[in-house]
Amino acid sequence: MSFTVGDVIAERTVHLTRESLVRYAGASGDFNPIHYRDDVAAVVGLPGVLAHGMLTMGVASSVVVAALDPAARILDYGVRFTKPVVVDPQDGADVHVLATAGAVDDEAARIDLKVTFGETTVLVKAQLRVAI
């Protein structure tokens, strides 16, 4: 597996629905009602029901993992959460992930992720390192 700085590794838009949030809550055990109840989200001042941050983070990494060789080893992965993904009850939410090679050395490649919801960047410093 070889990478060149600037290469697009993967790009995909992932559609989230309220059902996605319920399924993730069941898998993760995170049943905070801001992830499925509009009334609770409103009471705490949120713009609507939010996708779980770890779901957003997992979606972003899965786009990259799907594009890599199955034997690839992820060395580390980190993000900073900046804005929430509001999941509309009817329309859901589209999370767009663009993964590019940001740095390459003899041991690893750093893959930079641009993760957006609409025109808003929802994860910053989203980077994973892959062993070469």
In the chain, the domains with their CATH numbers are 8-131 (3.10.129.10)
pLDDT at 1: 75
What's the pLDDT score for residue 50?
98
pLDDT at 96: 98
In tens, the pLDDT along 76-131 reads: 999 999 999 999 999 999 999 999 999 999 999 999 999 999 999 999 999 999 99
d(CA 50, CA 30): 12
* Angle of the 18-28 helix axis to the 53-67 helix axis, nearest 10: 90
Is 2's pLDDT higher than 90?
A: no
